[in-house]
Amino acid sequence: MSLINRARWARSLLVAGVTVTVLTATTAATAQAAPAPAPPAQLSALAEGSLATYEQKLAVAVKFGLGDDFALLEKADRDFVIAIWNHVKGNPAQVEVRVAAETAFTSDPDLSYEFITAEVFAAFDRDVERERVEAATKRASDLARSAAAASIDVVADAALLNGSDLDFVRLIWERVADDAKWPKVKAAARAARDGSDADRSTFIATGMAEAARQDIDDRIAADEAKTEAEKAAERARASKKLAANRIGMAVTDELLNLPDRDFIIRVWNFTADGSEVQAAAIAATRSLDPVVWKAYIDTGLHQAVDRDIQIALDRKYQADRALAQQIKATATKNKDLNLVHWTDKALAGSATQLDDFLRVGQYDLDLATSFAAGEVLPSWSDTVAWTNGIVNVAGICCKLAGPELGVRTEAGHTGGTSLMYSGLDNNATKSYAYLKSMALSRITVKPSTKLTYWIHPQANTVRPEVKAANSTCVAIDLLFSDGKNLRDSGQKDTRGNRAHPAHQCNKLTVGKWNEVVVPLGALAGKQITTLVVAYDQPAATGGYRGLVDDLTITD
């Protein structure tokens, strides 16, 4: 019996058991004038807080090998998504599923339903594709490095294959440093080692093999014991060896001793259909001119490999742009404007910068904004962070519906814009207003991560309702994917004050910009999902107003 069928069968027994219980209870009560019984608690629990059906959740559970977890299948949508998140959060191979789940269960409730019915499968496929691309990229890198190493008769080992390009170049330089056979390879390796990333990539792709060819040619030319015919034959074998190495074809004496045209036919049969190397090999084979054959072996194959590489890079770049546009569209839908900002920056950069963003950068974001045009702007304005997140706080004046939080054209710590907060506290024992500002994702707290912002509490010179002390009872709060938050974490800023709005009261100077720095290292590993600007003042009434600027979450 499959997992899906077994889960369906188990659920049918659960529902049948509930039905029998209902019938028994109803029959026993028929003779009495008691009110109709309430729906069984089990049935209510199955539907409460859920839009997704049992079958839809079952499909997700089976995808992750959890089809036998019947308790999971009965969870409400958001709790189900959290359970999936807990299942994958420690698995680096499922990072797309993790971030999709975090976005879903920390945002609009409808996103949990969308995650269950569609987004989880799309995220799963993105993880699979990312793993496939990483594996293909590693194979291509291994082939290029193996071919480069083979040009100096070195078999590439794990140290040569698994390190960075700089590591590879350094190891090659060390191997030839005292070898008189390879002076040009040594010089090329030194230049690449001391050069740029692009220089090292070129050295691996073509430079090392070309330098090796020159060294071989120089040795052959200097060998006075050989006739010119013998030197020509040795050069031909060396060219075939370099050509075979370039495409990863096993080098044997039998291969190197083949006539040029037969060697090219071997290349034709070895290479992928539709490749530039194969097309050029077919064209050379059609010719009956030995000069054409020699040119293909000496240079034509290498040029064709370069064209294949460029074609693959162009295709990858277009695929990367399409993926980045998809990330941007999803982030825009989810109001994750920080991810939109970083995606736009990657799209505007080079192919390498875009690749770095998609492979690594998108999963390790920072936040930095002064709320100016072109920077990261708030996802929401004047929006309560959670149910009952505003208690005994009204609009500061002018028939405003409630406390305010939004970007204003008011001079910031730097620039001409800032994030303004305001409200009117109307209770002397319990008052607070937690307003969400930014939806965030892919920001992981590290031991060195810091929250930094500048805050300018205002006095009644701005509005007569404002009480200066109240304006200081404001702080940035962060919500994490595990349901915890910064304000209740006990963390302190660098001045020794708790990172809680109520503990900032009278700790800030009114009428000037104050820098607040909160080290977050003790919370390392947590994922930030929402940035909140909070007022919390239990002991006084009156208005409050102020500005926030130059907000960063960085390592």
3-state SS class at 526: coil
Q: Does some domain include residue 101?
A: yes
Which pLDDT value is given to residue 2? 55
Q: 145 and 156, same structural domain?
A: yes
Rounded to whole angstroms, how far apart are CA atoms 418 and 409?
Answer: 7
506 φ/ψ sector (left φ>0, alpha ψ -120 to 50, else beta)? left
Residues 6+ apart with CB under 8 A from 203: 148, 169, 188, 189, 191, 192
Q: 219 and 137, same structural domain?
A: yes
Which pLDDT value is given to residue 512? 98
- The radius of gyration computed from the CA coordinates of the chain, to the nearest angstrom, equals 33
Q: Does some domain include residue 391?
A: yes
Quick: pLDDT tens for 72-131: 999 999 999 999 999 999 999 999 999 999 999 887 778 999 999 999 999 999 999 989
Q: 425 and 484, same structural domain?
A: yes
Residue range of the domain that includes 484: 368-554
Q: 257 and 382, same structural domain?
A: no
Q: 214 and 240, same structural domain?
A: no
Which pLDDT value is given to residue 6? 52
Q: Does some domain include residue 400?
A: yes
Residues 6+ apart with CB under 8 A from 116: 52, 56, 57, 60, 77, 80, 81
Q: 410 and 272, same structural domain?
A: no
Q: 408 and 524, same structural domain?
A: yes
Rounded to whole angstroms, how far apart are CA atoms 538 and 428?
Answer: 6
This prediction has a pTM of 0.81
Q: 427 and 397, same structural domain?
A: yes
Percent of the chain with pLDDT over 90: 87
For residue 384, the domain's CATH number is 2.60.120.260
Backbone angles phi, psi at 21, to 5 degrees: -60, -45
Amino acid in the structure at residue 508? L
Got the DSSP string for 451-508?
EEEEEEE--TTT-TTB-HHHHTSEEEEEEETTS-BSTTTT-B-TTS-BSSGGGSTTTS
Which pLDDT value is given to residue 48? 58
Q: What is the total count of domains within the chain?
A: 4
Quick: pLDDT tens for 418-430: 999 999 999 999 9
* pLDDT-flagged residues of the chain (< 50): 9, 13-47
291 φ/ψ sector (left φ>0, alpha ψ -120 to 50, else beta)? alpha
| Contact in structure between 432 and 488 (CB atoms under 8 Å) | no
Q: Does some domain include residue 304?
A: no
Of 298, 314, 334, which residue constitutes the final position of a domain? Answer: 298
Q: Does some domain include residue 14?
A: no
Q: 218 and 237, same structural domain?
A: no
Which pLDDT value is given to residue 8? 53
Of 225, 257, 288, which residue constitutes the final position of a domain? Answer: 225
Rounded to whole angstroms, how far apart are CA atoms 374 and 142?
Answer: 41
Q: 412 and 429, same structural domain?
A: yes
Of 267, 298, 329, which residue constitutes the final position of a domain? Answer: 298
Which pLDDT value is given to residue 157? 94
Which pLDDT value is given to residue 109? 78
In the DSSP assignment, the letter for residue 412 is -
